[in-house]
Amino acid sequence: MINAYLDAQPYATRIANKLQKLSLMEFFNDIHDKFYPDKDITFMEKFIKMMQHENEFCVPGEKLREYGIIASTRSSTIKEKLDSLGLIEGEHYRLQDVLKQSETSRGIKYKKEYHLTPDAFKLCLMRAQRRVNQPVDPVIFANYYLLLEKVFGLYRLYQLQYSERLLSMKDGKIDRMQASLDRQSPQQIV
């Protein structure tokens, strides 16, 4: 996996220098096809969307169960996990009491819903362990999240080099136009 990343760096530079414009998803899929074809990335789009909402409470607490971090979506289980990681309410996660109409009885019940920041979710994922009889292995998702971060870093490198190349070309064009104007100016004075 390290060799693939090292091979992907010059590739990102090449496509930037060719001024090949790619969105994050296009870039990610291109890098996946060329350097990580053996990795299952069916869920990566969700991770990418998460990463684009830094410092927002955009990850529902139910995702902790979906990705194998906890075995239950009970509020107390989620709270225990978040507390064990030292996560702070209001900074790393938000807790809301949401009104739910009870199907079995009359009246309204409150349900606690958690929403985490992408960083809090990542921390939960990185610290998760595989347990006996656990239907989902969180370690697999943790490794894929790390892969996504590597590709995201490559994408930032690509964007920077793409912008520098574009600016360099525009600077050259401005210099040529200025030289052309300078040559024309003395002729018009006479």
56-94 confidence digits (pLDDT tens)? 888 888 888 888 898 887 888 899 999 999 999 999 999
* Predicted confidence (pLDDT) at residue 43 exceeds the cutoff of 80: no
> Which residues, including other chains, have CB under 8 Å from residue 116's CB and lie 6 or more apart?
57, 59, 61, 63, 64, 82, 87, 92, 93, 124
40 located within any domain: yes
Considering only residues 188 and 180, tell me which one the structure prediction assigns the higher pLDDT: 180
Q: Is there a domain that residue 190 lies in?
A: no
Is 83 inside any structural domain? yes
Whether the pLDDT of residue 186 is over 70: the answer is no
* CA atoms of 107 and 158, how far apart (whole Å): 55
In a domain, 137, yes or no: yes
Q: Write down the pTM of the prediction.
A: 0.72
Report the amino acid identity of residue 46. Answer: K
Token digits for 26? 């296009």
Three-state SS at 70: coil
pLDDT for position 44: 77
- The Cα angle at residue 132 between residues 128 and 137, in degrees rounded to 5: 45
Number of folded domains that form the chain: 1
Residue 100 lies in a domain: yes
Q: Would you tell me how many other CB atoms lie within 10 Å of the CB of residue 115?
A: 17
Instruction: Give the domain range for residue 43.
Output: 2-185
What DSSP string runs through 29-67?
HHHHHHH-TTS--TTHHHHHHHHTSTTS--EETTHHHHT
Q: Residue 73 domain-assigned?
A: yes
Examine residue 112 and state whether it is found in any structural domain, yes or no. yes
